Each structure stands twice: as C-alpha cells, then as structure tokens.
Structure 1
Amino acid sequence: MAGTGDYDALDYAVSLEYRSASKDMAGTTTLKARATQPLSRFALDFGGGTVDKVTVDGQQARFETREEKLYVSPHRLARGAEFTVTVDYRVTRDNGPEGHGPWREIEDGFAISPQTHQTMHHVFPCKNDIADKATFTITVTAPARLTGVANGDLVETTPLAGDRAARKYRMVHPMPAADGQIAVGPYSRLTHEGPDGVTMRDVVPTAQVGQLRETLARTDDQLRWQTARLGPYPFGTYGIFAPLGAVGPYESQTMSTIDAATLASGPADYVRAHELNHQWFGASVTPKTLADDWLAEGHAHFYGAWYEADLAHPGSAEAFADSMRMFYGMDQNLRDTEGPPAAPKPISGQIQRAGGALALYALRQTVGPQLFEKVERAVVGRFKDGVLSTADYLKTAREVSGRDVTALLTDWLYAKKTPPMPGHPDWKSDAAPA
C-alpha cells in the first residue's frame, strides 16, 4: 500500500536550521509510527523541498517524491509493528507563484501562518491528517542573537559553535502535524506562573516588550473566565506569540499567534478569547474531519463573543443574546452561499464559525445554562487529547443533558434553512438577495 493511512503516527522529532540571508533550511524529521496493516511501501506528505536520505529502523530505504508525497519502500513491516523513519531534507521557504504557502518572512527570520490544514507538509515531512495526533519535539537552530520559537515547553537551549543556539521544545500531549508553529526572529520570552499553576509564556519582539506587557497581562483573566465554564486548562503552558509582520491570528497547541501590530493597537479581547478557546476545542479536542471543524470554530466564536459581551456588560444575558442575534441575522445568507455548518461547501468561510456558534446557543437555550455547561465539560473531558466528530458531540449532548436534542442540533448543523431560535421567536434571518 502507498497511502498515508496505513500507519498511526506516534511521535515526531523535527529539527530545522535557520541561517540569515538564506531561504533554504536543512532539516531532519524522525517519525515513530505503528503499521496498521502489512507494509512494503508507505507515504509521508512533503511538498516543500528536496529529500536527501531516508532510513527506516536505521537501514537506508529506497524513496521517491511525487505530487507532494514522499513514498518510502522499507523492509517489509508486519501489521502492528512499530517502526522509525528518519528523513534528511532541505526545505525552501517559498510560497509559490500564488502565495499559498505557510511562510511569512521578516528581515531576519520567519514564522508559520498556515492557510489551511494542508500546508504544514511544506515545512517538514509528516502525516498531514488532522485525526492522527502524535507527540512532538521541535528543535530550532538559529543565530544566538535570534530566538527559535515553537509551541510546547522549552526544555533545552544548547549553545553551538559560530555563535549559534539550538532551542528544543517538547509537547507531551498529542497534536496533529498541521497545528504546529515554528519561527525565528528577534524575540524575547516572558514567563510567569498563571492561574491554577499554568506556566504563562509569551514570545514578543524584544523591542516591544515594554509596550506589550500591559495587554499581555489580560491573558490571566481570560484563562480564568474560560476555565470557569469549561473546566481545567488542558495543557501545562499557554501564551501568545506576537510575531513581526502579518501573521495569524491562529492557534497552535499551547500558543496563540497574534501579530505584534494587532496586540499593540488594542486589547484584541475577542480575538484572544477566540484563539484561547481553541486550546480546548481544536488543540486538545480536535475535529475528526474538516466537516467537523464547526466544533472548533463554532466553539471559539461562541466563547469569544460571550467573553466580549461579558467584558462589556458583566453577567448580562441580554448582551450575549444581542451578539447571537446579530449572527442569526446573517445565518440564512451564509447558508445560501456556504452551506450548513456541518456540511459546508468546499470553499467555506464564516458558516462554521457563526453557524456553529448559533447551534451551541440554540442548545444552551433548550437545555438551560447549567446542563449546557455539563455537556461542554463532559465533551472536553471525554475527548481530551483525542478527536471528536459531530456524531460524538450529539451523542454526548443527548446523554449528559438527558434530553433528546439530536433533531434540534441536526437542524442547526445540516439544514439549508435557518431554524427558529429557541426562546427568541422574533429573531429573523435574511436570505441572500436574488
């Protein structure tokens, strides 16, 4: 077999070496995996560079690259066998003629800004499947005057010859390969102990540390607000990476990427609450397929809007309802152009965010705030470090609430027409103009 579904990824060790004034980087990726069927050939996703050498369990293996796939022919692997594949490669930070790649360049450094779930294989060879999560070690080597950045915990900094340094980051909770962040630049790390012992770690431009400290301090309260509704934060570290240049916003495990200009211009409370919520829904509990992505985007939009309303009018149910009513007014237009939240058309934008948030609000309106919170906490507890499908969410909501909410949620997630909002019969949603 030659697909990427013939094995389970278990652990990655990714190393990249940045050199100033060059867009080429030497890299090594070591993947530990388990064969799910007998294998004489398997594939990794890789479309960003040139492969120099491949070994499987220490033995050199034949390989070929074709159409953003790296096909490897090792010794035959039995079903259930664990194996290790190491790829030495060179990657070029080139986004192609249409600019669809993940690279964002600065004067001396770069950051990653994925456009879709399909771009991280331009950074390193991987199994680019959002449902196949693995633990990660990422090592970034760069000039010592710069800081190599990755999500996870910084576990080691090694000075190297030529005034260079290697920084190693470790993620002990599994994540999809697509959800990483890797960057290099003139950055400083700011750390302190946050709520419930979480290590708060921000990475910001060194020249803007003083300017950004006050707004970064808001994260502690945002974390407290979300844990009060969802339960314990799922990881040991959290913070904001504020890169130079136009990057993000987007989330990766333990880290939200929000560019320095956005942070410097204001508090960005909705954006920050949205990205923080993705640590629960997206990073810890990962949508099983792209059609299930409303579970990540809908939750982040729901809690981001709720936090923003609560910040302006603490404890006001009316302020949150006003926000949901605005989304409701747009919903039919979005369904007409993008499809329903759990079955979007191939090119989708807002429906999984706004429509997904409305589905959650309809559930809360139906079962009440207390049962809704029980459902949410049950979901993040049962599926921690795993993947979640729409069917899984519907089943959990039904079991925990004790109410048959399947028809309600099915309408909100799959219907072509916007359903009536429970408790708000006066709300109207406009269709797209003919």
Structure 2
Amino acid sequence: MARLRTEIPGPRSRELAERRKGAVAAGVASTLPVFVDHAEPGLLVDVDGNRLIDLGSGIAVTSVGNPAPRVADAVREQVDRFSHTCFMVTPYEAYLDVCERLAELTPGEHDKRSVLLNSGAEAVENAVKIARHATGRPGVVAFDHAYHGRTNLTMALTAKDMPYKRGFGPFTPEVHRVPGSYPFHDGLTGAEAARRAVAAMPDPDGIACVVVEPIQGEGGFIVPAPGFLPALADWCREHGVLLVADEVQTGFCRTGDWFACDHEDVVPDLVTTAKGIAGGLPLGAVTGRADVMDAVHPGGLGGTYGGNPVACAAALGAIDTMRELDLNAAARRIEATVLPRLRGLASDAVVDVRGRGAMLAVELVSAEAAARVAATCHAAGVVVLTCGTRGNVIRLLPPLVIPDELLAEGLDVLEGAME
C-alpha cells in the first residue's frame, strides 16, 4: 500500500532538487519532483521513504514490472558477458533474437525485417526514411493531435506546439496534417472520419507514408471510431502509400493485445515500437515488409547504440514475461476494473472517459482542472499523468503486473481528487 512518511516532496527530494538546478538544463521538466530510490511492484519508493502508487509506468515503459525479475536477470547475465560491440561492427545473436520475436508478434503473417534503434522518436524517424527510400516519394501525412517524438522530423509530425515544438523550428518539409478520428468531439463514425481524412490528403502520388497512432497517446488517449483504421489502410493500399503504425505507446500488451492494430486486424506496412519493449532499457525498432525494409542500401540504417546487447537481453526477458504472465489478459482485466469506476466519477468536470486495456483516460473541462486533480493525487502519493492537446486529460498507464489492491487504492485517491 501507499505510505507517506513526509510531505510530497520530502526534505531529501527538495535537497536534490536544489542540486538539480545547478546541474540539469531547465528545459528538462519532471511531473512529480520526488527522487526515486527504488521500486516495488506497482510502487515507487522515494529517497524520503515515501511509497507512491505508480499509475504511470514511466510513460508505459515498465509494463512488466519495475524491476522485473526476468529483465533484471537477463541484463546482469549480458553485462557480465559484454556490454557493447556495435552491431554494425561485430554482430551478436541477441539482436537477431529480438528481430525474430518482432517478426512473430507484429501484425501480419508476411515476411518481415527489423532494424533496432534507441527510442520511439528514432524509430519513427527511421520509418519515414525507409518509406521515402522505398517509394521514391517525399511526402508524409500525420494527424491532428498526433505525437511522434522530439527530433526535428518527429516534431514536424507532432501536432502539439507547447512544450514540444515552440521555438525549435523550422521543421522538416513535406509533412502534411489531416484530421483524424476523435469520436467524442467530432461525432463521426470511423468511415465518416476516414472519408474526411482522405478528402484532406495531398496528391497521393507524392506521399511516401501515412503515420498514425492506432490510439493517440500524448494527444489525449484518443481511440478512433471503429472502422477508421481499416478504411485508412485500404486507402493506402489503393494508392501505393505505406501505412506506418506508431505503436510506441500502444504496443506490447498495453491495450489488451500485442499491438493496438490487432483489435481491428489492421496490418501496417511498417510498425514502430519502443517504450514497453525492453522493461525500462532504451530500445526502439522498425519492423516491416521485407521488400520495403530491404529497399534501403547496406549502411543506410543503423546507429552506434542501436540494438545494444544489454537492451536486447532486456527485451527478450520482457517478452518472455509478457507471455508467461499473459499480460494481454492482465491489461483487459485492468480495463474491466478501471473503466466502470472512471465512468462512475461524480464530478461535473468530467466530459469523457475512454481507453482500451491499461491505456485509459479521463477528459476534463480544462487543463486547470486536470492539473488540480493530478496535483491532489501526487500529494496523496499516487503518480498520474496528464496529456491532451489542451492538457486537459488525466491518463492512466499502470504497470500490467500491478497488484489489485494497489490499483484499487490508487483509484480511491483519484476519485477523491475528482470530487
């Protein structure tokens, strides 16, 4: 259970925060200014001994636990053997193992290839590179409320200006934005939203790829209306445009299936992954059709740390954990527990409740309301996150192994904060 020994943040965290001011760039912000000492299943324990319920999982990263025994064991074993060689110089088997798992788990039964990288933004950036090279076309389409990263190209794809884009331009050209599907606000069916999106597309002869989050993350945990993604996939196939599914936040059991595209049997040409793939270690990937991935010349893809052997070992341990514990079923159980309670919130500030699996959200009337709710939860020892283009959404991303009693206690605090 949660237990607070001091106020939040406590004296030791405040001391470290003062040191931080003299060492860390001011542009690096933190949601909750407590410094973590260690973690337990569903809990973060700070340097003052406060035990905080974790409903954020490091933004959907530590889905398998923190620490996760299989991940920790795999990392220790690999570090004892070697920590790095650079796969582009002298390769190693763990990289192959991860690529084979990705070929098996990502949507579709077609022949696939992968490249391993360091982050979600790097994965999206490389997916666009691959799509442009394979098609010979420059254009990229993204959606309203999209979030794809903080590199120059992925900032161009990202819709939200503050804090992600303001002052950092100019951005990569040939990026086009079209409306997506936001059922609560647009009232459209999936087919209607897809027709609207297609009508806003530039000439498809110049489009290399359409990049879409099957459930939008930072934009507000927006679940598109049924039929939107399949219709989009059909349009892409008809026009020779590659469909890139950004599954960085939705992938690896988070939504109750291996990938969010699986819920409507959508098979993208390219899938980007990161976050939950490696139990907390930095790893990203692009997995896609073999003919598309292999269109790039040797040496055109890679990076010094991409597919680092320690991160690969962690990913193999994480995927084994997902299978052994059936974390897809765990995500569905979390949804069955949390959604009814969120829908029963007695607050005039709540305008919508949505999500899938263990990726759930409450949209509030304003960013100010969301900030007050989050601050109240934080003060009571519960880590929640906000999101949304207007900053007015509370998002819940509990670890998929969170004990039932901790989840219930965290929801009690959230309900109290809402009231």
Provide the TM-score with structure 1 as the length reference: 0.25
Larger strand proportion of the pair: 1
Q: Pick the structure with greater CA Rg.
A: 1
**Highest RCO, 1 vs 2 (Cα 8 Å, sep ≥ 6):** 2
